[in-house]
Amino acid sequence: MKVVVIGGTGLIGSKVVSKLNEHGHEAVAASPNTGVNTVTGEGLADALKGASIVVDVSNSPSFDDDAVAEFFRASTTNLLKAEAEAGVTHHVALSVVGTDRLQQAGYFRAKQAQEDMIRDSGVPYSIVHATQFFEFAKTLADSATSGDTVTVAPIKIQPIFSGDVAAAVGRTAVGTPVNGIVEVGGPDTFTLEDFIRKGLAVHGDPRTVVTDPEGLYWGAALQETDLLPGRDAQLGETHFADWSSQQ
């Protein structure tokens, strides 16, 4: 079974490719590094020849509102068109837990638009909603830093190891399309403040982390549980403490 992984040379994509190949599938990485550009369409038709499944774990190189909206619009339009022409029977996309609750933020409006395009495409699909990755604690901190202080909202988070995300994406890809959402999260729940503090400690980063009741998350005001997956979510096996001890 040929599986084309869009964004297949990145953090998640490279792990998805490895896991699928380990299980006997023909997984192919497709990204600008391999001559495939979904935004322009370059190399897309050739990459999808003979593919049964397409997994899209690509991400915008810019988080600017206009740039990220155009990235997902152009990329998803080209990808879905090429899939229809190639006879792809399962489209899998990686998105974010709580996307529909984060619409004050431009990035999540773009992700919602991407999901809507997939639903309306007619191609059988599965959308994997993942919580934030362990590896992104510093990125979250950077988005909320002023001087040496990181100010975050008083919300909860259930972060997950990137390898567990990749495993969930791979399982979903070779399964029957759900034509809906599969949620995945980590095994432990933290306050956002605690998670970022622990994540910065992994890097030896001395910034101070504080909670502000008026704090935002990527520009969005959230309720305490907006970033948490639902009761039916698949949970990763890797605990943050075990991951961090190996960094």
Q: In sequence order, what DSSP letters do the residues of 6-51 get, joined into one string?
A: ETTTSHHHHHHHHHHHHTT-EEEEESGGGT-BTTTTBTHHHHTTT-
Tell me the CB-side half-sphere exposure of residue 149, using CA atoms within 13 A. Answer: 7
Q: Please state, in angstroms and rounded to a whole number, the distance separating the CA atoms of residues 43 and 61.
A: 19
pLDDT in tens, 13-49: 999 999 999 999 999 999 999 999 999 999 999 999 9
Closest CA to 209 of 150, 145, 164, 162: 150
Enumerate the β-bridge partners of residue 182.
Answer: 128
- Give the predicted TM-score (pTM) of the model: 0.95
pLDDT in tens, 227-243: 999 999 999 999 999 99
Structure tokens at 2: 């040929």
Quick one: 101 exposed, middle or buried, by C-beta within 10 A (0-12, 13-18, 19+)? middle
Q: Please name the amino acid found at residue 198.
A: K
* % the chain with pLDDT above 70: 100
What mean pLDDT do residues 69-78 have? Answer: 98
pLDDT band, residue 63 (cuts 50/70/90):
confident
